[in-house]
Amino acid sequence: TGYTTLDYGFVNTAATKSEITYIDGDAGILRYRGYPIEQLAASSSYLEVAWLLIYGELPTESELAAFDERIRRHTLLHEDLKRFFSALPHTAHPMAVISSALSALSTYYETSDDPKDPEHIEITTIRLLAKLPVIAAYAHKKSLGQAFLYPDNSLSFVDNYLKLNFGNLAEVYDIDPVLSRALERLLILHADHEQNASTSTVRLVGSTGANLYASISAGINALSGPLHGGANEAVLEMLGQIRDSGEGVARFVERVKNKEDGVKLMGFGHRVYKNYDPRAKIVKESADAVLEHLGVQDPLLDLAKELEQIALEDDYFKERRLYPNVDFYTGVIYKAMGFPERMFTVLFAIGRLPGWIAHWREMNLDPQTKIGRPQQLYIGPGEREFPRS
Ligand code: CMC
């Protein structure tokens, strides 16, 4: 039609209004419901931030305690659902496992009830927050061929998650509070980022009336790509390749600049940030602190710093305003904690879950919401005659 504008990648088109997250990409500012990300990362908890994103205000102490308690009570997975994992190969990518498991989860809980019923949305919110980490830890255990642990509901959300991943049935698992806090901080940093590809996917799927499980499962699949959440895994792969090939950082950067074989500097660049990603600043400090705490010397961290230094001083990156994004240093931390590379994007998904839920709910409450349905500019053939009558 005469009114259709062509906007590849939705660079200039807003699909909604939102009250959840504010980003100023030029200034490098990120706020959840008005609170600066730096303050939340320093002093808040994952569940407090989840509440803030979903309900709009910080919880009172008793609201937070009740929320935490409710989530602890919903961590168990149905025993039948556990058998779902045995149908998959141990080589399965955990992102595929968790998105499929969430679809499967809906078969247990998404009954004929009205999916727009507020009580139903409340309980689904709790179930998702409680069960996704357990499903994610089982995907990890499955890949290792190890037994699944029951959630330990005497532990906090993050400690429980660490134990489910790294504990085993034969030994007592000691929580390292420094690692636990570092992981919590990373989850907070990932909790929302307005209309990124996965959140837009959750909203688009949800706009059809599809339920929360289906919408979030779709969001996880959108997140898995290397240009989005999959970048944290791709960064470690890239660093490993640079180290193993022995080509050196300067030569690798030349190849990126010449766009040889389409090679990109993974963990660099962002659609919205044209300045240092405020999350990346915090992650970089955290990487140093975690490795020092563990007494780990990872040459990949040194390589990452060298790469950043060279790129930030180079005209190619300066002209295009390319800076490290949140994914550049996270993998180094996850690796030091003991997570395999394939789990990195799963950790992003657990972090982003409250944001996805908040957006799905905001969309459903907005009377202006319509089914998402982009236009196209048709450039195919005009009418022609089919050759056989
Ligand atoms: N390495 C080399 N060149 C790059 C990079 C990069 N990482 N990112 C962008 N460019 C170049 C791009 O080739 C283009 O150059 P030219 O003008 O010569 O064609 C210019 O910079 C503008 O880039 P663009 O592709 O138009 O930017 P975009 O907004 O469409 O893409 C992006 C944003 C994040 C997909 C992209 O920067 C990228 O692919 N980065 C690497 C993957 C990555 O780290 N993704 C994680 C993003 S942050 C967390 C998340 O959202 O999950």
**Same domain, residue pair 67 and 160:** yes
Q: What is the dihedral of CA 52, 54, 59, 62, to 10 degrees?
A: -150
For 114-147, the DSSP string reads -TT-HHHHHHHHHHHHHHHHHHHHHHHHHHHTPP
CA angle, residues 260, 262, 265, in degrees to nearest 5? 95
Domain with 102 in it: what CATH number?
A: 1.10.580.10
pLDDT number for residue 117 = 87
For residue 359, indicate whether it is catalytic: no
Nearest-CA residue for ligand 1 atom 24 is 271
Q: Is residue 378 part of a domain?
A: no
| Residue 389 binned pLDDT confidence (cut-offs 50, 70, 90) | confident
Q: 243: Cβ below 6 Å to ligand 1?
A: no
CA of 270 to the centre of ligand 1 (A): 6
Q: 265: Cβ below 6 Å to ligand 1?
A: yes
Q: Strand, coil or helix: what is 297?
A: coil
Measured distance CA(199)–CA(6) in Å, rounded:
22
Measured distance CA(60)–CA(83) in Å, rounded:
39
**Same domain, residue pair 113 and 171:** yes
CA of 135 to the centre of ligand 1 (A): 31
For the stretch 267-301, pLDDT in tens is: 999 999 999 999 999 999 999 999 999 999 999 99
| Residue 170 binned pLDDT confidence (cut-offs 50, 70, 90) | confident
Query: How far does Cα 147 stand from its chain's mean position?
Result: 26
Q: 327: Cβ below 6 Å to ligand 1?
A: yes
Which residues face 36 on adjacent strands? 31
Which residues face 268 on adjacent strands? 324
Q: Do β-strands 21-24 and 29-32 pair in parallel, antiparallel, or remain unpaired? A: antiparallel
Q: Mean pLDDT in the chain?
A: 95
Quick check: 326 and 277 in contact, CB under 8 A?
yes
Amino acid in position 102 = L
Classify residue 126 as exposed, middle or buried by CB count within 10 Å of its CB (0-12, 13-18, 19+). middle
Nearest-CA residue for ligand 1 atom 8 is 269
Q: Flag whether pLDDT at 169 surpasses 90.
A: no
Q: 9: Cβ below 6 Å to ligand 1?
A: yes
Number of neighbours of residue 69 by Cβ within 10 angstroms: 10
CA of 269 to the centre of ligand 1 (A): 5
Q: 271: Cβ below 6 Å to ligand 1?
A: yes
**Same domain, residue pair 249 and 221:** no
Domain with 272 in it: what CATH number?
A: 1.10.230.10
CA of 92 to the centre of ligand 1 (A): 28
- In angstroms, the Cα distances linking 289 to 163, 182, 295, 303 are 21, 9, 10, 17
Query: How far does Cα 97 stand from its chain's mean position?
Result: 15
Q: Strand, coil or helix: what is 110?
A: coil
**Same domain, residue pair 208 and 68:** yes
Mutate to test the pocket of ligand 1, among 12, 317, 320 (most ligand atoms within 8 A of CB): 320
**Same domain, residue pair 187 and 54:** yes
| Residue 379 binned pLDDT confidence (cut-offs 50, 70, 90) | very high
Which residues face 238 on adjacent strands? none
Quick check: 168 and 146 in contact, CB under 8 A?
yes
Which residues face 23 on adjacent strands? 30
Mutate to test the pocket of ligand 1, among 259, 264, 330 (most ligand atoms within 8 A of CB): 264
Q: Flag whether pLDDT at 1 surpasses 60.
A: no
Nearest-CA residue for ligand 1 atom 2 is 264
Q: Is residue 374 part of a domain?
A: no
Cα dihedral 21, 223, 92, 336 sign: negative
Overall size of the chain counted in residues: 389
| Residue 112 binned pLDDT confidence (cut-offs 50, 70, 90) | low
Measured distance CA(74)–CA(72) in Å, rounded:
5
**Same domain, residue pair 236 and 267:** yes
For the stretch 211-263, pLDDT in tens is: 999 999 999 999 999 999 999 999 999 999 999 999 999 999 999 999 998 99
The kind and range of the H/E element at 63 are helix 61-72
Amino acid in position 132 = L
Catalytic residue among 93, 190, 270, 359: 270
Q: Is residue 60 part of a domain?
A: yes
Classify residue 50 as exposed, middle or buried by CB count within 10 Å of its CB (0-12, 13-18, 19+). buried
* Domains held by the chain: number: 2
State the average pLDDT over residues 110-116: 71
Sheet with strand 29-32: strands edge to edge: 21-24, 29-32, 35-36
**Same domain, residue pair 51 and 191:** yes
Q: Is residue 318 part of a domain?
A: yes
CA of 98 to the centre of ligand 1 (A): 27
**pTM strictly above 0.90:** yes
Classify residue 113 by its DSSP letter. S
Nearest-CA residue for ligand 1 atom 49 is 228
| Residue 171 binned pLDDT confidence (cut-offs 50, 70, 90) | confident
Q: Is residue 277 part of a domain?
A: yes
Residue with the larger pLDDT of the pair 19 and 262? 19
Segments forming the whole domain that contains residue 126: 21-225+352-365
State the average pLDDT over residues 334-353: 97
For the stretch 33-55, pLDDT in tens is: 999 999 999 999 999 999 999 99
Tokens of 99: 């998105």
Mutate to test the pocket of ligand 1, among 322, 323, 347, 356 (most ligand atoms within 8 A of CB): 322
**Same domain, residue pair 235 and 221:** no
